[in-house]
Amino acid sequence: MHPDRHEPITCTVCHRAIRERDDLVTTMVMLRVLPFHDRCYHRELEHLQAMSVSSQPINGWFGNLTAVLFLVLGLALLLVAVPLGEWRWWLSPLFTLPLALRMYSYLTIERLIRS
């Protein structure tokens, strides 16, 4: 979808459109990935933290770093944690969750906002 031809992505706090990707923060609240203005996110951070386990941003460099880090950890677990036996085949895929979340955030929100 072209960024200009759809309903604008609106901020969860102030309900105004988010126009620039630089101004966007996505985070998970109550198992949903929600968009915020950078300013609104920081203003509501305390409140958000009360509602969710982790209200770290999913998008931006922090989200990218987390996704990559977990992926590396998951792979390392698969290769190194041989003493865990077949358990590691069950644990390792869990480490791809941040990447899945990162992709979900990109596909459903970030992609629709001009960078």
Q: Give dist(CA 27, CA 59) in Å, integer.
A: 8
Q: What is the DSSP string of 65-105?
A: HHHHHHHHHHHHHHHH-GGGTTHHHHHGGGGGHHHHHHHHH
Name which of 12 and 66 has its Cβ closer to Zn ion: 12
Rounded to a whole number of angstroms, the minimum distance from the CB of residue 18 to Zn ion is 7
The site map against Zn ion for 31-60 (x = CB under 5 A) is ------x--x--------------------
At position 59, the amino acid (one-letter code) is N
Nearest to 57 by CA among 20, 74, 48: 48
**78 in contact with Zn ion (CB under 5 A):** no
Residues 3-32: x where in contact with Zn ion by CB under 5 A, - otherwise, as a string: --------x-xx------------------
CB of residue 109 to Zn ion, shortest distance in Å: 14
**Which residues lie near Zn ion (CB under 5 A)?**
11, 13-14, 37, 40
